Amino acid sequence: MIVVLKPNISKKDEAAVIKEIKQLGYKPHVMRGVERTVIGAIGDERTHQTLEVLTSWAQVENVMPVQKRYKLVSREGHKENSQIDVRGTIIGGKKFQVMAGPCSVEDEKQIMATAVAVKKAGATILRGGAFKPRTSPYEFQGLGEKGLKLLAKARKETGLPVITELLSEAHSEMVAEYTDIIQIGARNAQNFQLLIAAAKTGKPIMLKRGLSMKIEEWLLAGEYVLSNGNPNLMFCERGIRTFETYTRNTLDLSAVPIVKNESHCPVVIDPSQGAGRSDLVSAMCKGAVAMGADALLIEVHPNPADARSDGAQQVTLEGFAKLMQELKPFIAAAGRE
Ligand code: PEP
Ligand code: MN
């Protein structure tokens, strides 16, 4: 059940509702929006007392059942878009955000040059992989903690918040110490123990769609984050596995309006893993903006031909600057800044 509180009620009134929900035998999950607070009350109504009594409370606007299997992620009880505050950069608000940087952090010179260039071109968040999920064990696995330290250095230098992937539960504290957003990659999108560990760090989470994941499964994976006490979740579409071979994956842009409709969480598009081809990145970014995405995640490398991972899909520093200019009218047409 979802308990919607009246706008702008006091902390004391909110606490009283939470206490009552617990007393009735439900687990409350509080989601504080800009205007109002919504409480997800998880519990089996067949064995617990009904929450209907709360409808008579002065501080409660509405009590309603959530029909969908994903409860806290669903827009049913949480009408307004969630906004995620990443050290002052808001994802899911009026401003369109661009996360950019190399697939892998390779060395200091590479990450610094990229960070400075993407910031100058208008990116608002720096991406970079330190722990890389590679298909082959013989391929570059990332610099690990050294890579995280370089990312932190680039953050200090540019002021850009950073996003990096968490590959293993064993690294959750370490990764959370250095990053502002935790990325859960496509290959781990249904690693539920990892999702719980990531949620518990308290950092905002970007959950990629798995290679062959249905949208409902993806939304349910997101439910693991919210139901473990972390309201700061965004979904990232990065292409799915199909029969098509012209592209590395098939970027499912229909996921944007579907997920925006089903959920209040922000939606990010990653055209780089999506197509696996740098020449397609620009067109897919424009499509993503038009579809209503809240942000983009773009791989950028000073010299893609020499990249230690995903060379074919990374755009150059100059290519990224040009792309950002090209995107401006599309962002404005979509009603974003
Ligand atoms: C990446 O962002 O470099 C990456 C490995 O992403 P995905 O999990 O979508 O393949
Ligand atoms: Mn990559």
The stretches of 24-140 forming alpha helices (DSSP H) are 108-121
**Residue matched to tokens 């903690």:** 145
Among all bound ligands, the one having the nearest atom to the CA of 185 is: 1
> Which residue's alpha carbon is at the smallest distance from atom 8 of ligand 1?
185
CA dihedral 234, 237, 334, 122 (to 10 degrees): 80
Residue that has been written with the tokens 């499509």 in this structure: 287
Residues 6 or more apart from 67 whose CB is under 8 A from it?
Answer: 76
For the Cβ of 103 lying below 6 angstroms from any atom of ligand 1, the answer is yes
> Among all ligands shown, which has an atom nearest to the Cα of 132?
1
Q: What is the dihedral of CA 282, 186, 301, 244, to 10 degrees?
A: -50
Residue with CA nearest ligand 1 atom 10: 186
Host H or E run for residue 126 = strand 125-127
Task: State the closest ligand 1 atom to the C-alpha of 187, by its place in the atom list counted from 1.
Answer: 8
Ligand 1 atom with minimal separation from the 238 CA: 9
| Ligand 1 atom with the shortest distance to the CA of 127 | 2
- Cα(229) to ligand 2 centroid in Å equals 29
Q: What angle do CA 35, 37, 41 make, to 5 degrees?
A: 160
Using CA atoms, how far apart are residues 313 and 315, in angstroms rounded to an integer? 7
Q: Is 207 in the pocket of ligand 1 (CB under 6 A)?
A: no
Q: Which of helix, strand or coil describes residue 337?
A: coil
Q: How close is the Cα of 113 to the center of ligand 1, in Å?
A: 21
- Kindly state if the Cβ of 274 falls inside 6 Å of ligand 1: no
Domains of the chain plus CATH, in order, are 2-64 (3.30.70.1140), 84-333 (3.20.20.70)
How many residues in total does the chain contain? 337
Residue 46's pLDDT is 75
Return the pLDDT at 31.
86
Query: What whole-number distance in Å separates Cα of residue 65 and Cα of residue 228?
Result: 20
What pLDDT is attached to residue 43? 85
- For ligand 1, say whether the CB of 186 is within 6 Å of any of its atoms: yes
Q: How far apart are CA 137 and CA 155, in angstroms?
A: 30
pLDDT by 10s per residue, the chain, length 337: 899 999 888 999 999 999 999 999 999 999 887 677 889 998 877 777 788 889 999 999 999 888 889 999 999 888 999 999 999 999 999 999 999 999 999 999 999 999 999 999 999 999 999 999 999 999 999 999 999 999 999 999 999 999 999 999 999 999 999 999 999 999 999 999 999 999 999 999 999 999 999 999 999 999 999 999 999 999 999 999 999 999 999 999 999 999 999 999 999 999 999 999 999 999 999 999 999 999 999 999 999 999 999 999 999 999 999 999 999 999 999 999 9
Ligand 1 mutation pick, 114, 165, 268, 299, max ligand atoms within 8 A of CB: 165
> Which ligand neighbours the alpha carbon of 208 most closely?
1
For residue 64, what pLDDT is reported?
87
- Does the Cβ of 191 fall within 6 Å of ligand 1? no
Mutate which of 208, 209, 236, 240 to test ligand 1's pocket (most atoms within 8 Å of Cβ)? 208
Q: Rounded distance, CA 221 to CA 202, Å?
A: 17
Residue minimizing CA distance to atom 2 of ligand 1: 103
Atom of ligand 1 at shortest distance to CA of 236?
A: 9
CB of 185 within 6 A of ligand 1: the answer is yes
